[in-house]
Structure 1
């Protein structure tokens, strides 16, 4: 089945920065994970020449693990905050209304 392209309307049009701001509003820990990843990547590039006798592959593996730890940590904090907000704060507000 062929869809008529004249009837198709995109949901939202915008730039990458507006989409990032919308995502940050919905999930505030996304920018934290991105910032942590960028800081680890920058530090890894800075320390690249001062790695001593460490092999390049080992240095890159260490930096990858550190960057992933920042992103996974931000996701974990976001999920924990969401569960706290949804399951502990809302029932207390429901009890106060009754």
Structure 2
């Protein structure tokens, strides 16, 4: 898929962060993260597992739910246990970083 430079960079950074996160987690765990940006409306989704050590991701720009703020949603699924899901409002730092990517000086 072909993404804008900004969305491509956000996807690559999310994949790198997930890879580092998985390296510190138990070997039988999979994770999925969604970064939902409010303005402009974009979802960055990444998922992966420590075994066999793969990550994948995608950017969504259509049919994205608008929460009215930037949201981070994480789901973790240890083998043979119920998945855990949590979400947080993204700090203003993430909003300003994305804004700088969208509107460089």
How high is the TM-score relative to the length of structure 1?
Answer: 0.31
* Structure exhibiting the larger radius of gyration computed from Cα positions: 1
How high is the TM-score relative to the length of structure 2?
Answer: 0.29
Higher helix share: 1
Higher strand share: 2
